[in-house]
Amino acid sequence: MRALPPLLAMLLLAACAQAPVRNPLATWVPSPNFNVRQPVIIVLHFTQQDSVQESLDTLRSENSAGKVSSHYLVGDDGRIYQLVSDLDRAWHAGGGRWGTITDLNSASIGIEIDNDGREPYTEPQIAAVIRLLQDLTTRFGIPGSQVIGHSDLAPTRKVDPGAHFPWQRLFEAGFGIWPQGELVDPPPGFDPWLAMARIGYAVDGGEDARAAAVRAFHQRFRGRDDGDDPVAVFEAEDLRILHALVRGASPQSSAD
Ligand SMILES: [Zn+2]
Note whether 155 and 215 are within 8 A (CB): yes
Per-residue pLDDT of 244-254, as tens digits, reads 999 865 544 33
The Å distance, Cα 181 to ligand 1 centre, comes to 31
Per-residue pLDDT of 185-196, as tens digits, reads 999 999 999 999
Label residue 35 by pLDDT band (50, 70, 90). Answer: confident
Give CA–CA dist 201/97, Å, rounded.
Answer: 8
Q: Which amino acid type is present at position 81?
A: Y
pLDDT (mean) for 115-138: 97
Q: Which of 183, 173, 180, 192 is nearest to 133 (CA)?
A: 173
Give CA–CA dist 149/46, Å, rounded.
Answer: 9
Note whether 40 and 89 are within 8 A (CB): no
The Å distance, Cα 161 to ligand 1 centre, comes to 7
* pTM for this predicted structure: 0.88
CB neighbour class for 39 (10 Å; exposed up to 12, middle 13-18, buried from 19)? buried
Label residue 8 by pLDDT band (50, 70, 90). Answer: low
The Å distance, Cα 154 to ligand 1 centre, comes to 9
Give CA–CA dist 143/177, Å, rounded.
Answer: 11
The better pLDDT of the pair 73, 21 is held by 73
pLDDT (mean) for 216-229: 96
Residues designated as active site: 112
Q: What is the CA radius of gyration of the chain?
A: 21
